[in-house]
Amino acid sequence: MVGSGIFRTPGIIVGHAGTLGIAALLVVVGGVQTFLSANLWAEVSTSIPLSGGTVVVVRRAFGDTAALITGWTDALAGVAASAQLSAAGAGFLAVILPRLTSHGGVTAAALTIIVALINWRGVVMGEVAQMVASVAKALVIIALIAVLFWMTRLAAPTVTLDTPSMVAPFGSLLIGYQLVYGAYAGWALPGYFAEETTNPGHAIPRALFWSVAGVMGLYLLMLAALAHALPLALLSRADFPAGIALAHVLGPASSAVLAAIAFITVLSCQNSNFMPGTRVLLAMGQAGYAPRQLTRVNRGGTPDVALLVFTLLCIGLALTGRYELIFILMGTLDMALTAITDLAYLQLRRREPALARPFRAIGHPVLPLLALTLDFGILLAVAIADMRSAMYAMIAVAFGVIVARMTARARAARAVQAV
């Protein structure tokens, strides 16, 4: 979960929020909303212990049509997440190797291919790479926050930007919140491996709740550390604020060092994002919502055709080089998926009260209804305030659904001919 967002978005969020306090509040609200959603997801993902994510749960709750739409939305959210990680990785690499600055899209595509090849070797190779990168990532981010707190303050402390209004307009706040929500993206991924998890009723809820708590804590610490080191006006305009802060203390080389740290972080998240992304496509193929070839698994245990399709889609989006737009698109799609999962939870509670539930959501029905209200309310507000991102998301999902429908009809026609 801790990826490029913790390096790239703090300054942008402060700029949209208008004050450091409101920026921190957005992070907290995003964490609380994610906690409430994780409470529901922990129940449904362990009640139906199959790999594939939301498409599996929604199919059980609402049937094929809703599952088809959800599956393609989930697949596209994974593609958007991987594309923005590749775009961010290309940006960090360009700090180290400036000659790559004008080739961001190609560099992002190359990074996508490298991660795909690691996962193509098999699930064991992907797991080892993920474990090593995750440990390195945790250590360097904690060390970075400590350095930012210990360094000399560059300006007098401020908590608001020098603007006529202390509070940003509502639309700007929503864009900031989309970026915050995108930073939490990935919290649901443990539930995508329920079929492959030992004792999922215990392991998955624990992974969900600790992950959200960890991201909230790190993000708040990073915001506080950056505000300690940089004038708020400079922070709000910086695409890579930690690099600017360290440059005043460690010299020009600090930007390259920090870019290397961020690059390792991005690769770690990119690797972990490929595994659930390919499993969503695998589940789509198994359910008949996509070509049957997506269900093929190589000797290493990787759905190789699904991996190829996922990689090509990521490359296409990464080549646009539009980091912030891709990040917002990812957040919008994740909000939609979370809202659909809330409805699936309530439907399964109503229709299948006897379903075995290794973990039962806390505070039913009050907290689940609160989660549903927040998720749908914020999704609607974001769609109204940012029509462009909502339109892109709907077009992408509609395209996927059309392709899936055509595939299903072609398969049905071949089945009739075979009979």
Higher pLDDT, 170 or 67: 67
How far the first Cα of the chain sits from its last, in Å, is: 48
Structure tokens at 222: 């990073």
- Sorting pLDDT into bands at 50, 70 and 90, what band is 145? confident
Q: Which domain holds residue 168?
A: 5-418
- Please, are residues 382 and 178 in contact by the beta-carbon 8 Å criterion? yes
Query: Which residues are registered as beta bridge partners of 19?
Result: 160
312 band by pLDDT with thresholds 50, 70 and 90: very high
User: Is the confidence at residue 285, as pLDDT, over 90?
Assistant: no
Q: What is the distance between the alpha carbons of residues 282 and 120, in angstroms, rounded to a whole number?
A: 14
pLDDT at residue 164 in the model: 39
- Among 395, 386, 25, CA closest to 180: 25
Q: Is the pLDDT of residue 209 over 80?
A: yes
Indicate whether 165 pLDDT > 50: no
By CB neighbour count within 10 A (0-12 exposed, 13-18 middle, 19+ buried), where does 123 fall?
middle
Question: Which stretches of 114-265 are assigned E, i.e. beta strand?
Answer: none
Residue 137 CB burial class (10 angstroms; 0-12, 13-18, ≥19): buried
Mean pLDDT of 142-169: 63
Q: Which residue has the tokens 């290309």?
A: 90
Read off the pTM: 0.78
In the predicted model, is pLDDT for residue 274 greater than 50? yes
pLDDT band with cut points at 50, 70 and 90 for residue 47: very high
* CATH at 192: 1.20.1740.10
Quick one: average pLDDT of 392-410? 69
CA distance 119 to 127: 9
Is the peptide bond between 169 and the residue preceding it cis, with omega within 30 degrees of 0? no
Q: What is the mean pLDDT of residues 53-66?
A: 87
pLDDT of 374 higher than 50: yes
Q: Say whether pLDDT at 163 is over 60.
A: no
Count of the separate structural domains present in the chain: 1
Phi/psi of residue 160, each to 5°?
A: -130, 155
Per-residue pLDDT at 402 exceeds 80: no
- Best-predicted range by mean pLDDT among 208-212, 294-298, 302-306? 208-212
Report the alpha-carbon distance of residue 351 to residue 416 in Å, rounded.
Answer: 34
Instruction: Using pLDDT thresholds of 50, 70 and 90, give the confidence band for residue 411.
Output: low
| DSSP, res 294 | G
User: 39: exposed, middle or buried (C-beta count within 10 Å: 0-12, 13-18, 19+)?
Assistant: buried
Mean pLDDT of 41-46: 93
Residue 152 has pLDDT above 70, yes or no: no
Residue 206's pLDDT band (boundaries 50, 70, 90)?
A: very high
C-alpha 129/C-alpha 124 separation (Å) is 9
314-371 residue pLDDT tens: 888 777 766 556 666 666 777 888 888 999 999 999 999 999 999 999 999 999 999 9
